Amino acid sequence: MAEVSIPAAAGRLRAADRVMVIGVSGAGKSHLSRRIARALDLPHLPLDREILWLPGWVARDRAERRDLHEALVAREAWVIDGTTVSLMPERLERADLVIWLRPSRARALIGVARRVLLGHGRTRRDMAAGCPEQMPDREFLSYIWNFERRYAPRIEAALADHPEVPVVTLRKPVQGRVLLGMALSRTMAEAARGRDAP
């Protein structure tokens, strides 16, 4: 895994066309992805909305998921928000940068609680139509509780298979703001220098 610092990742992000944002539920993937996409004028493509779910919280067929995922990844530019470890290799083949949101278990659970509190009964913009926010069930809470033990090793293995792709790990929301702020400040400085050039 090609772990890089936040300043190094900011430089990569500034020039990136394709960015993966991964991590446990409740980590803030969608929020950060939307901010990156808006700031850098890239399409935001949440896996939950684009490939995983049909209305009524019906899981899409695995083969159809894979076909849709291949079509997403083939686009020239994107910020893809979501983990789905089984589909990561295809994204890693094309990604310029991976941002891994890796908060504590408590922080992730608080993130989910806040999401439910603020949006219960309404469909989030990064979720498929007809899938309103609902109370988390035991299976979902278990997924979050056991994420580091069950899923993080699989993510690390997938990343290790693609050492050419830089990975930045963010454990607190403020680090995401710092990353984007650094990328934008450099972008704006370069734009200003370009305007001032003869």
Under a CB-based contact definition with an 8 Å cutoff, are residues 102 and 27 in contact?
Answer: yes
pLDDT one-digit tens code per residue, 79-97 = 999 999 999 999 999 999 9
pLDDT band at 195 (very low <50, low <70, confident <90, very high): very low
What tokens does 44 get? 């935001």
Average pLDDT on 17-25 reads 97
Within the chain, strands assigned E span 2-3, 18-23, 44-46, 53-54, 58-59, 78-81, 97-101, 166-170
Alpha helices in 76-172 (DSSP H): 88-92, 105-119, 138-145, 147-150, 152-160
Q: Where are the domains of the chain?
A: 2-184
pLDDT in the model for residue 191:
44
pLDDT in the model for residue 44:
97
pLDDT one-digit tens code per residue, 157-179 = 999 999 999 999 999 999 999 99
What tokens does 100 get? 């891994």
pLDDT band at 190 (very low <50, low <70, confident <90, very high): low
pLDDT of 5 over the 60 cut: yes
The CATH code belonging to domain 2-184 is: 3.40.50.300
Cα–Cα distances in Å, from 8 out to 12, 148, 158, 166?
6, 25, 21, 9
What's the CA gap between 115 and 124, in Å, rounded? 9
pLDDT of 183 over the 60 cut: yes
pLDDT band at 1 (very low <50, low <70, confident <90, very high): confident
Under a CB-based contact definition with an 8 Å cutoff, are residues 59 and 52 in contact?
Answer: yes
What's the CA gap between 135 and 130, in Å, rounded? 15
Average pLDDT on 36-49 reads 96
Percentage, residues of the chain above pLDDT 70:
93
Q: pTM for the whole thing?
A: 0.91
pLDDT in the model for residue 142:
96
pLDDT in the model for residue 185:
87
pLDDT in the model for residue 192:
42
